[in-house]
Amino acid sequence: MSSARASGGGLSTLDLDRSSFPELHGGSLSVRIAETDAEREAAQALRYRVFYEEMGAHPDAQTLSLKRDIDEFDIVADHLLVIDNAIASDERGVVGTYRLVQSDAAKKIGRFYSASEYDITPLQEFPGRLLEVGRSCVDKNYRGRAAMQLLWRGIASYIFLHRIDLLFGCASLPGTDPDRIADELTYLYHNHLAPPALRVRALEDRRVEMLRTDPHALNVRKCLVGLPPLIKGYLRLGGYIGDGAVIDRQFNTTDVAILVKSELLADKYYRHYERRLRDALD
């Protein structure tokens, strides 16, 4: 039993609605689950600005016309929002977002998003509740410690409330040339490969070898500097990497599979806010 479950105390309801999620604050910023269509659309608009206008993703005609990043998973997902209440406490203040898809939600689509890049059979055989995370982004004016810390705190609260056992998803490195990030991919594979029971593998027709250089000759410090902050955050939590990278030409990225046992996240972020969470639920 994970600590996320064991810390449940008097909470017995497994399927909690969005109103149960406590809004967490840090200065003018707060984090909560989107409650309205307008807030979900604001998250999609932010994703468009970051992924397409900043990072060079290639929009199709509909995406370009709507100026929003939308796919079929949005309608079944929960959308975690960072809001700058100094701007507004509704959709106008959305400055960060993270998409969360539980197993029951994925069943409505018939698959998880990650299944388009990885064979996730080991996860489907995992005896616990799954949460797929993705589409994470923060407005360029808020990419400091505060917004990212709030997103982590929000995810920790979410996995506690919903008794999640394993968090997973695809995390991205910029660009589509794996040779330009050969050292980073080698470092991830050599040092953080998931154990066999959790080792998802890139689909054979999309798989890119990660072990590209001599792992014993790596400059580890340089490799860590070259990794995106989100991936480094997962690793600091004891996260694992799947076997093989995947080139995503639409989003102009090289993706790796990330897996984190939820008690690691809950231990780091939940304990400090335990009283606040309980007070919010009472």
- The pLDDT, as a whole number, for residue 19 is 53
| Residue 271 confidence (pLDDT) | 56
Over residues 165-182, mean pLDDT: 95
The pLDDT mean for the chain works out to 87
Query: For residue 9, is it left (φ>0), alpha (ψ between -120 and 50) or beta?
Result: left
pLDDT, residue 6, reads 31
Give the pLDDT confidence score for residue 5 in this predicted structure.
30
Q: What is the CATH number of the domain that holds 148?
A: 3.40.630.30
Decide if 1 is inside a domain: no
Q: Which residue range(s) make up the domain with 239?
A: 21-281
* Separation of alpha carbons 125 and 50, rounded Å: 35
Is residue 5 domain-resident?
no
pLDDT tens digit sequence for 255-272: 999 999 887 665 665 555
In a domain, 58, yes or no: yes
In a domain, 30, yes or no: yes
Q: 212-223: per-residue pLDDT in tens?
A: 999 999 999 999
Is the pLDDT assigned to residue 279 strictly greater than 70?
Answer: no
- 24-65 pLDDT, tens digit per residue, is 888 899 999 999 999 999 999 999 999 999 999 999 999 999
Domain contains 173: yes
Does residue 26 fall inside a structural domain? yes
Identify whether 14 is part of a domain.
Answer: no
**Range of weakest confidence among 17-26, 91-100, 106-115, 166-175:** 17-26
Look at residue 18 in the predicted model and tell me its pLDDT. Answer: 54
Top pLDDT among 14 and 137 is at: 137
Please state, in angstroms and rounded to a whole number, the distance separating the CA atoms of residues 2 and 5: 5
SS (H, E, C) 26-43: ECCEEEEECCCHHHHHHH
Residue 278 to residues 1, 7, 16, 259, 270, Cα–Cα distance (Å): 20, 11, 14, 27, 11
- Domain assignment present for 141: yes
Confidence at residue 262, expressed as pLDDT on a 0 to 100 scale: 81
pLDDT of 182 > 50? The answer is: yes
Identity at 17, one-letter amino acid code: D
Say how many C-beta atoms besides its own lie within 10 A of residue 278's C-beta: 14
Per-residue pLDDT at 231 exceeds 90: yes
Q: Please state the domain count of the chain.
A: 1
Please give the model's pTM, rounded to 2 decimal places.
Answer: 0.86
